[in-house]
Amino acid sequence: MHKLTSLLLVVSRPWFNLRRDRRGVTAIMVAMSATVLFGMAALATETGSWYFMRRNVQSAADNAAAVGAMRLSMYSSYVPAQSLTTSQSFAVAAARDALTRNNFVDGQNGVSVTIASPPTNGSLAA
C-alpha cells in the first residue's frame, strides 16, 4: 500500500505543482493548447459533416437510379408497344420524383439534377 501511495504522489506531484504555479506561463500554455484542441475538434466536426452530406447525396443518386431503372424495366416489359422515348421519359420522371423525396429538388439550394437515359458517359455510355 505504501508503494502505491508513493507512486500516486510521484505521478500527481507535477499536476499539483502546475496548479500552484503563479508565474503566468501556465495560463498561456493552457490557452494555446485549448485553441489548438478546439480548432482540431472543429475541423473534425466539419469533415464529418462533409462525409455525411456526401453519403446522403450518393444514397439519393443510387435510389433515383434504381427507381428509374425499375420504371424503365416495367414499361419495357409490360407495355412492349410503348415507344422507347416514352419509356425513358417515364423513367426520368420517376428518378426525379425519387430525388425530390430525398430532399434534392432541381434548381433549389444549388442542386442541379441531370438524368441521362441511356448514359452519356462512363463505361455504359451509348
The string of pLDDT tens digits covering residues 15-37 is 667 667 667 777 788 888 999 99
Residue 67 belongs to what H/E stretch? helix 25-78
pLDDT for res 73: 78
pTM across the whole model: 0.59
Q: Residues 6 or more apart from 101 whose CB is under 8 A from it? A: none
Q: Is 117 exposed, middle or buried (0-12, 13-18, 19+ CB in 10 A)?
A: buried
